[in-house]
Each structure stands twice: as C-alpha cells, then as structure tokens.
Chains A and B, each alone.
Chain A
Amino acid sequence: MNVFATEAGTDLYEHATIMGKAHIASLFQQNNQRFEDFSYSVPGLLLDLSKQRITAETLQLLCELAREKQLKQWIEDLYNGEKINTSENRPALHTALRTPADQRLNVDDEDILVPIHENLSRMETLVNCIHAGQWLGGTGHPIDTIVNIGVGGSDLGPFMACKALGEFTTERSRKVEIHFVSSMDGSHLSSLLDRLNPTRTLFVISSKSFTTIDTLANAETAKEWLKRADQHVDMDEALILKRHFIGVSATPKRMIDWGIPESNHLYFWEWTGGRYSMWSTIGLPIALRIGMQGFRDMLAGAHAMDNHFRNSEFETNLPVLLALTGIWNINFLGITAHAILPYDGRLSHLPSYLEQLEMESNGKNTTRSNEMVGYNTCPVLWGEIGTNAQHAFYQLLHQGTIPVMCDFITCSTRYEGPNNIELKHQHQLNLSNCLAQSQILALGDTVIEGAENAPPHKRYRGNQPCSTLLLDKLTPETFGALIALYEHKVFVQSVIWNINPFDQWGVELGKTIATGLLPALDGSSENVSLDSSTRGLIKHINTKR
C-alpha cells in the first residue's frame, strides 16, 4: 500500500520491496565508501547514516517525498510564526527563542524578539544576583540552593541540560546547588526537604499554565515547609513568597493568584510549547548552573542548527536526513521501536527528554485535517546510557525478535588536559564499545570470520539500522545544536505524516478523570457508575487505611 499517496511514496514503496530484503552488511560489501557517501556534518557535529538500510536512491526518493509534502514551505511557516499549531490556533516559535537580538521577527504586528530578549535580560539580572550571593532569603541569608518544581517540559529539558553541562559551571555558579522536583506523589520533594536549609532555599515554580496539579501540589508542600521551619522568627507568608519563590509561566495572573509577587515573575509565551521551552526562561536552572554566558552559548548553538535546517538543501540537511531515515524505517521497513543510546554519562537524561519530545509531539493518529492516519507515526522510543544498556536490553537488540532502529550519540574528545590519563582511557573504552555495538547491530556477526558455524544461540543477525551522532566535544554550543537537531527532526516527520506536533490532547482526559476519582478515594462518596475494576481497586485501597 502506498501510505502517503504521492508519487515519491509510490516509488519508495516499490524501492522498499527490494531494500526490505537487503542486509546492511551486503550494502557495505557492495559499496566500500558508504561512510563518505552517507555521513554529513555541520561545525562541531557529524551524522553518520551509513549503517542505515539505505542507498543513494533511497535518500533521493525520501528527499523527493519531502518536497512533495511541501517541507520547505512548512519550515518557512514554522520560522515565520504562522499558526501551524492549528488545534490551538497559535504558532510554535521555539526558533525565535534563540534568534539573536539584532534580528526582527514580526508576529501579529509585534516584533516578538523584543520581549524575548527583555525576559532573557531579566533572567540574567536574577541569575547574576543569585550567583553574587545577593538574593537573600527572608532571614537575610543568601540563597545557595535552588529547587526547580515543574513537570514535563518544565522539568525534563532543564534537568537534562544541567546534567549534561555540569562541567561548564562557573566559579560563582558552583556555589549554588540545584535540585529538580517533579513527581506528583511528593517522593522527590519529601526526601529533599529533609536535608535542605529553609533559610537558604529558593523554589522556582515552573508551569506554563500555572494550573499543573503535579507542580502546584509540590509548591504548596514547599510553602508549608518554609512556614513550619520558621518557628523562631515571625516571617509571614508574604515574606516567604517574596524571598523564597520565583514563578516562571506564560500566565502571570495565576502566579499572582498563587501568591508570587510580580517582582519574582519570569515570563514565556503561549506560543512556546512546553517540550520546546528550555530555551526560554524555563531554562532558568540551566543559566543558574552554567551562568548566563553558557546559556547564551547554548542558544547560539541551537540557532546555528536553526540556520542550517532552514537554509540547507535537503540532501545535506542533518535534521531532514535524520527524520527521513526514520520515516523510511517506520513506514517502509516496518520498524516501530527506536532506541536512544548516548555513550556519554552526561547525556543520561537525553533519552527521557526525547521520549517526551518525540512521543508527545508525534504520537498521534489523526491528520491535520482530522482524519485517521492510515500509517504508523511515532515509534515507541526509549533509551539509556549505552554502556549501561549493554547490560540490560541489548540482548533484545541483538537477538530478540523485533526490529529496532538505534541512535548512537557520543563525542570524539573528552577529559582534555594532562592529569586525566585514567579518565581518558575510560573514554577510549566507551568509544570502542559505542563503535563495536553499532557495528554488530548493523552488520551482525559478519564482522567476524566463521560465525556461520556457531550454534543459533550464538549468532547475531544484525540488520538493525543505526545512526551515529558524533559531537567533536560536548559544550553548551554543541549540546544546543544537538537538541535543536532533534526538535527539527520531529518537525520534519510531522510534516511527512501530516500531523500537528505541537498539541497534546491525548494527555487531557486522564487529568479530568483523576480529579473525578478524588471524592471516591476520600471515601466521601461512592461512584456506582465506575467500571468494576476501578471501583474494586478503590474499595481495596480504602480497606487498607
């Protein structure tokens, strides 16, 4: 079946009937220049697609498909602030968040770069104040501990970035500890509060709508903790809110209603999707971790990728090629599982970040014209630090029954300087494992001689398509570029699938139903209309307390 009803789609389908039978190992035998043919780079970052089950013809047809899907126009619409998030009637302007101040971008007759950079400056003032030890708590002690309370996009991006860029702290930023709290059940928060000093702790409450129940429940607990901790001094609630809370939101009024004074507000906008928001003031924890210059470097790296995505031909365009090989795997080779395998402990939180970015964006079954799609969209995506995953789920990758496409992400150099001999050696080990695993996953046991004589349980069939993303080294710039690369990849796939990647209606019903179940759990009322499973579980819970 031609899933995309286009000319290139038809050609790709036919092409796939041949390629579907091919083995990546044989592609390497036929062409000993695959690396030269299928690797692409921008300054600081290289993408190797040679271990994908593709030929030059595959890529040419895929690029044709992208043209037929008007990708160029969609990219322009994205950058120009057209309201491409149609179900919510707004643009998606994360690219504007990293556009330098000397440019202009009019959306609805307003140059939105002006408020963007005003808020960055506001954030800079705040960051510098905290780093200078001059943000004082209610008792006059300088704040040295930040707790970011947020969930989803208000948590994953900053959390990941702080972990990834921990080496780029400044002398002043090192003095400030940063924690992340997201879980609704209070597990993160309660264990943290036991060991924090309330007079030196500042809570950053991050929520686009400022209605997220997970976040507000944690914020309320934090506020009560501060009130209780202050038994010796009559610090009233207003003083606590003024000195110990910062709000980051697109909804100032709700921050005021919750009690955070305007002086402690940072803003972002409705047109910033939660999972695309770490470039905005939601990135406050990142700036606190690595300083404002580091944060701006990260923006600059992402902006360089934006320019590359917008201006390069599809045939050399990294986000486009990464996306199209995904489309090829999913829609033409029938692969619906995608493993994210960073070979770098600093990128430990990248898999969970990409889980949200990809699956919340493209895990959808209706098209932009509100029809059911007739093809697969976003695959199941998961991951883990590669070397750790080798001791966990690689068994399935190598010898399981399902095809899986894999992204290997690592950097060429690490631990520079003369005193890091042992650590440099560890990095070499790490690199050799990264290269070995992608080699075996793609080529199977053809990489050794005589494998065909081994018993079946010792064979490696290979043919799992692998991409390798190689950073020269991990810096705020290359990290920014890497994340922007994935954002644009997701966008390209959404265009091919004709879905809106910027809404997330699938997460709404659960919130409503959960709220409806609270009275039954309180025991205050029994809901006889519930299904017997839910009713039975509630009854069982209530007999235990």
Chain B
Amino acid sequence: MKIAVWGSELIGWTAATAFAEFGNQVHVNQMPDSQQSLSEQSEPNSILFNEPGLLSHVKAQYDQGNLTFGEPYAALECPIQILALHPDQFPLAKTIIQRVNQQVQPQQLVVINYSTFGLGATDELAALLDTDKQQAIAYIPDQLSEGSAYDNFIKARTLVIGCQSNEANKIIKALYKPFSRSLEQMMIVKRREAEFMKFAVNGMLALRLGYINELANLADLLHIDIDTITAGMGSDPRIGKHYLSPGCGFGGAHFSKSIQNMAELLKTNRNSIILNTLLEENEKQKVLPFRKLWRHYKADVSNLKVAVWGLSFKPNTASIQNAPSLQVVETLLAQGCKVHAHDPQAMMNFAKHFPSTGEIAYYNQAIETLKDADALIILTEWNEYYSPDYYQMLELMKNPVIIDGRNIMDKELMESFGFVYYGVGR
C-alpha cells in the first residue's frame, strides 16, 4: 500500500520504518508544503537521532527505496494517511486532512491518527471526512517506550483500534498483520474510548510512581528501607512488580504531556486535582537529589564541585525532555556550584540548554567528572553507572558523597567503602 506519514514524532518514524519493511511504499513529510530531505529531518536533537538504532532502520529502508522524503504531493495522494504530529499541531492535522480530501477522491481513504491531541480530537478530524466516500479515521494509542520503540512496535502485545468502520478496520488489521505474532489482545473501540484509554493508562502509571515516591520520602524520614517495602508490595499479585521503583521523578515528552492532558480533563470536568497534585509533587521530586546535597552541606553549597551522572530523562535515549537533570543543574548553578557532567548520549542536547562555561563542564568519561568533586549525583540509571571503580572514585573525590537518585547502588556496600551515601527512601 501507499502510505503517507506526517510529522516527526517517534511513533511516526517507527511506524514508517516498520511498514516500509513489509512491502509498503511510505512517504514521510512534515507538512504539505515542505520538502525536507532525510538529512534535514534527522538532524541532531531530533527524535530520530535520539532513539537508539532507529536511524539505521530508517536509512536502510530509504536506501532500498521503500521510504521517501520531501514529496508532499505524492504523499497527499496516498490512500493511507498517518498522523504522527506533535500534540500542539492539531491545526496542521486539520489542514492535512483537508488537503488530502481534495486529492484522493473518490479513492477509499483511511487515516490513522497516532497523535495525542486530546479527548475528542480524532472525532473532530472525522467531521472533516466524507463518510459517503468510504473515508474513515482511526485513533490508535501508541504504546512505545523511548529507547525501545522499534521493538515495542513490531512485537506489540496489545493493539487498540479506535474506529468503528469495518472497511477501515480491515485495512488497518492487514497493515498490522506482520506485527501480530506477539499480539495477545486486539480491541476495537470508539475513537474517544481509545483516546481516553491512552490517558488513563499513563495516569495510572504516574499515580503508581507518584505514590511510590511519596512512600520513599516518608520511609526516608522514618528510617525505613523502601526497597524492602516495595519487594513486599510487589509480591502481592494485586499489585505486581512494575513501576514500583522510587526515584527522582519521571520525565519524557509524551508521558508528561499525556498526564497533563488527563489532569486537565479531570480538573475541568470533575474539579479533581489528583493528577495536578501528582505532577506538582513530581516536579519537586526531580530536585530531591539536590536537596540531599543541600542538607548534607547544611545549606552551604556555593563553590562546591558537583559531578552529575545521567542527563537524559531515562537510559538509552538522548532525550532530555522534562528530565530531572534540567532542574537539578539549574539549581546547582543558581546556588553557585560548579557542575561536572556526564551522559553517554544526552550531553549534546544538554549543552544546548547549559553551554559549557566556567560553571559547567562536560566529560566523555564518567569517572573524569569526579576529580576534586564534593559530591556525585546520579540522575539516570545508565548501565555503565551501576558498578564503577569505587577505589578510583575514592581517590578522585575530595569528599566521597554519593547521592543516588535512582537507587542503583548498594547502600551498605557504599558505606563500607567509606562513601557517604544517600539513596531515595533508604
């Protein structure tokens, strides 16, 4: 089939590649009148660049001629249109639908909307279609995690299709057929239900994270080890083990945005502030590692040298959107500290916000940040941070203080080495 993909969100690139690999001809474009080439669309800091491995998949399909770029007129004529736009690009989505409408008639048209515009947005787009002419639109909530998007897509375990047109669903199911082997459940629901489901899932996950962080902070005050508590909680089958690790707040572009949407829905319709409170607490939680430093040094932190490990909002991505590192480093600098930062992938993105100056320096090796440091703050659980050379660390650091915002180190072990160790909730 000929497929057009609009937008540069992660789901767009992932779906474009996966569909291209299975015989479809896919045109990727940003907007109807733009003719951006692949190189323009994959510049550093773009989503494509941040997602490990995805760029090479895209390039492979491009080289084989299955993926094309910057041909908006060809794209507008495709019978399958995919919207993978930023949540703020709803007006553009409308424009695209209208333009497509002018081109493809009387051909059958199926639009798949992956974009999270808000509840009822896909219905609004549907109103622009001509149902008499076999035109339909589906909302499919994307279930991708940054860092493993491609695998999530091709090995999806559930597929929710928000569309009640049988004709359209036949085409969508056929498109997804190659990725159905791991599928455990497929649900056909109304568009609004599918949109709501996306928000509901993210809200639930956020509530779990928020709750576990609250528990961890309380455990901190009561001198109880949160790891013991979460192990016990997780063994209860009603609770399960997922999303039970406390830490210094969640981030990411889509997760946070989706929770904001749900928070807004709850507040507007129900005057409920449960998710707003959660979001506010999460922002505070992001700065928790700094507060531990502040407390350790009794509010006297100016001119301290602080090493920061981990700038991305989670491991295996270069994305720093809503990452705790942004707030922690901002606070460190505002309070007069010198920052020595390391991240395996995100340093280039981070340096755009905080250019290298006398106050902040970036290092290619994590261990190099520790020379003369008064503290190490760990903000992202990258694999390479789990087991560093403790002897070398002790040698390099002026004051062996470790603030582990992700609980990746063993408290007792660290203390036996002679570190002053602070975790989250232990």
Contacts and interface: CB of A to CB of B under 8 A. Distances in A.
A232 B221 contact: yes
Given A140-B294, A141-B284, A232-B221, A242 B334 contact: no
Interface string A119-142: 000000000000010101011110
Summarize A's interface: helix, strand, loop or mixed.
loop
Given A141-B291, A232-B221, A136 B284 contact: no
Contacts of B127: none
Interface string B293-330: 11100110000000000000000000000000000000
A136 B298 contact: no
B295 A134 contact: no
A134 B334 contact: yes
Interface in A80-138: 132, 134, 136, 138
Nearest to A236: B298
A298 B123 CA distance: 51
Nearest to B287: A140
Contacts of A242: 299
Interface string B196-236: 00000000000000000000000001000000000000000
A380 interface: no
Contact of B335 (A134, A139, A232): A134
Of A134, A136, A141, A242, the most chain B CB neighbours within 10 A belong to A136
B334 A139 contact: no
B284 A140 contact: no
A233 interface: yes
A136 B295 contact: no
Interface string B314-355: 000000000000000001001100000000000000000000
B117 interface: no
Nearest to B284: A141
Interface residues of A, number: 12
A367 B284 CA distance: 60
A83 B425 CA distance: 63
Contacts of A192: none
A296 interface: no
B290 interface: yes
A239 interface: yes
Contact of B299 (A132, A134, A243): A243
B299 A239 contact: yes
A133 B153 CA distance: 41
The B interface, classified by DSSP as helix, strand, loop or mixed, is helix
A449 B335 CA distance: 73
Given A239-B299, A243-B299, A136 B294 contact: yes
Nearest to A200: B284
- Interface footprint category on B: 10 to 19
B291 A138 contact: no
Contacts of B295: 139-140, 233
Contacts of A139: 291, 294-295
B294 to A, nearest CB: 4
A239 B298 contact: yes
A138 B299 contact: yes
A139 B291 CA distance: 6
A12 B371 CA distance: 86
Interface string A196-223: 0000000000000000000000000000
B221 A136 contact: no
Nearest to A136: B294
Contacts of A243: 299
Interface centre among B291, B294, B299, B331 (most CB of A within 10 A): B299
Interface string A234-256: 00000100110000000000000
Contacts of B291: 139-141
Contacts of A134: 331, 334-335
Contacts of B335: 134, 136
Nearest to B222: A232
A132 B294 CA distance: 17
Contacts of B290: 140
Interface of B: 221, 284, 287, 290-295, 298-299, 331, 334-335
Interface of A: 132, 134, 136, 138-141, 232-233, 239, 242-243
9 contacts: A134-B331, A134-B335, A139-B291, A140-B290, A141-B284, A232-B221, A233-B221, A233-B295, A243-B299
Q: Which 9 A-B pairs have the closest CB atoms?
A: A140-B291, A140-B294, A232-B221, A134-B334, A243-B299, A239-B299, A239-B298, A140-B295, A138-B299
Given A136-B335, A141-B284, 6 more contacts: A139-B294, A140-B291, A232-B221, A233-B295, A242-B299, A243-B299
